[in-house]
Amino acid sequence: MNSSTKDRIEGKVHEVKGKIKETVGQAVDNPDLEAEGKSERIGGKVQKKVGQVEQLFEK
């Protein structure tokens, strides 16, 4: 598996996990969990974008 594909997949996983944590944090009124979810979601988006850029340079 290419590193770009791996980064895109892992980024998407982190995005989804972050969104779930963020939603649960809002539902149970836990601002720490909500903030953790937001940061994980943003980190996932960045990682996914890195994978997309790597894929452009592989061609």
Q: In terms of pTM, does the model score above 0.75?
A: yes
- Residue for token pair 């974008």: 49
The dihedral region occupied by 30, where left means phi > 0, alpha psi between -120 and 50, and beta the remainder, is beta
Burial of 27 (0-12, 13-18, 19+ CB in 10 A): exposed
Check residue 23 and give its pLDDT: 97
Domain positions in the chain = 3-58
Interval 3-59: pLDDT, tens: 889 999 999 999 999 999 999 999 999 999 999 999 999 999 999 999 999 988 876
Spell out the alpha helix ranges (H) of the chain. 3-27, 31-58
pLDDT band at 2 (very low <50, low <70, confident <90, very high): confident
HSE-CB for 43 with a 13 A CA cutoff: 11
Interval 23-37: pLDDT, tens: 999 999 999 999 999
What phi and psi values does residue 2 have, to the nearest 5 degrees?
A: -65, 150
